Amino acid sequence: MKPAPFDYVRPESLVEACELLAGDEDARLIAGGQTLVPMLAMRLARPAKLIDIMRLPELAGIAAEEGAVVVGATTRQAQAERNSTIKASVPMLARVLPWVGHPPTRNRGTIGGSIANADPSAEIPLVAVTLGADILLATASGPVSVPANDFFIGPMETSIGHGDCVRAIRFPVWPHQRVGVGFFEISARRSDFAFVAAAAQVALDEEGRCVEVALGVGGAADRPLRLDVSSLIGTRLDTGVVTGAVQAAAGNFEAMSDLHASSAYRRRVAVTLCTRALEEARGNAAAIASEDAR
């Protein structure tokens, strides 16, 4: 057996899970286990106790709310990928899910697990930051909501306190008729960690002018970044305008450098992918209206 020994408990309720977690410094939560189990196998993680939250009813389910879709933490990535509410209302999440791992890891891996793991190159945290989602936590003092931008603070590092558990993620839904998304990613091979990923969502009015825009870049910095391209609102997102806005927003953020890619490369690719993502998003939004007109 490769992992070091540990105790395993499967609590009956979220409250019990949080109590167990708070009461033991060396305890860790496990849901899908697609990151934690390899860490255990390589003994990079040696928890004394694993608390299995996968079957807790409080963490399951996908619910449409006023202006948002709330995705339970233990929703498996494959479930979310096939879910019609997510496809219709959070198209950016639906768009990136095929890029998260492989089909067998998506069958076990969870949405909340990817959020809590906070890998800087992960696609689900990128969507959360780009759209301005809220991370809903269960804590000893009750439910807490943290904006995604404040939740991720560094590579595999979040602002979550010991004893707290990610309960759900609240993804905002845009009210506009014509919403399109775009997503591009560069990695060594399909489904490997992204060196750079860019996600964009735009809403167009009847005349094809941009009324709302969100742009984010992942893999390039120590956490996913939302870029300010609000100057694009009111424009027709012509190529020159988009390129200019992206250059201004993504031209000089603090990019990571490692043996795969230098920071200069990451910045250069980020600008290119952000531009492509915005153009794809504009194209998809524009296509919605032409379908309606038919």
Partner 1 sequence: MKVDLQINGVSRSAEVEPRKTLLDTLRENFRLNGAHAGCEHGVCGACTVLLDGEPVRSCLMLAVQADGYEITTIEGIAPAPGELSVIQDAFCETHGLQCGYCTSGMILAAHALLRRTITPSREDIVEAISANICRCTGYGQIIEAVQFAADRLRKANTPRPHHTAHHGGEHDSPVEGVLEAAEADEPAVEAK
Q: Considering the complex, state which of residue 4 and residue 248 has its C-beta at the smaller distance from partner 1.
A: 4
| Nearest residue (CB) to partner 1, 39 versus 211 | 39
Q: How far is CA 9 from the centre of its chain?
A: 28
CB distance 119 to 219 below 8 Å: no
CB of 3 to partner 1, least distance (A): 4
Report the nearest approach of partner 1 to the CB of residue 89 (Å): 24
Say if CB 17 and CB 60 are below 8 A apart.
no
Residue 50 lies near partner 1 (rule: CB under 8 A): yes
Among 2, 1, 11, 105, residue whose Cα is nearest residue 49? 11
Residue 4 as a binder of partner 1 (CB under 8 A): the answer is yes
Given the complex with partner 1, which of 106 and 267 has the nearer CB atom?
Answer: 106
The contact pattern for partner 1, residues 75-104, with x = CB under 8 A and - = no contact, is ---x-------------------x--xxxx
Copy the structure tokens of residue 254. Answer: 């603090």
Contacts of 102 (CB under 8 A, 6+ apart): 191
76 closest CA partner among 101, 95, 51, 45 = 101
Min. distance of Cβ 102 from partner 1 in angstroms?
3
* Number of residues forming the site for partner 1 (CB under 8 A): 31
Q: Please state, in angstroms and rounded to a whole number, the distance separating the CA atoms of residues 97 and 202.
A: 19
3-state secondary structure of 150: helix
Q: Which of 99, 152 has the CB closer to partner 1?
A: 99
Min separation Cβ 174 and partner 1, Å: 29
Which residue lies nearer to partner 1 by CB, 77 or 158?
77
Residue recorded with tokens 């309606």: 292
Does the footprint of partner 1 cover residue 283 (CB under 8 A)? no
For position 73 contacting partner 1 by CB under 8 A, the verdict is no
Positions in 132-151 near partner 1 (CB under 8 A)? none
Binding flag, residue 57, partner 1 (CB under 8 A): no
Q: Is 105 in the site for partner 1 (CB under 8 A)?
A: yes
In angstroms, what is the minimal distance from the CB of 29 to partner 1? 13
- Contact between 240 and partner 1 by CB under 8 A: the answer reads no
Does the protein bind partner 1 through residue 263 (CB under 8 A)?
Answer: no
Site membership for partner 1, residue 28 (CB under 8 A) = no
The helix-helix angle for 239-250 and 263-293 (nearest 10°) equals 140
Q: Which of 29, 33, 75 is nearest to 50 (CA)?
A: 29
Tell me which H or E stretch contains 89.
helix 84-89
The upper half-sphere exposure of residue 272, i.e. CA atoms within 13 Å in the direction of its Cβ, equals: 9
If binding is defined by CB under 8 A, does position 11 make contact with partner 1? Answer: no
| Among 28, 87, 108, 209, contact with partner 1 (rule: CB under 8 A) | 108
> Cα–Cα distances in Å, from 287 out to 4, 90, 118, 252?
54, 17, 34, 33
Cβ 93 vs Cβ 124: under 8 Å: yes
Contacting residues toward partner 1, per CB under 8 A = 1-8, 10, 30, 33-34, 37-38, 40-42, 50, 52, 54, 78, 98, 101-105, 107-108, 190-191
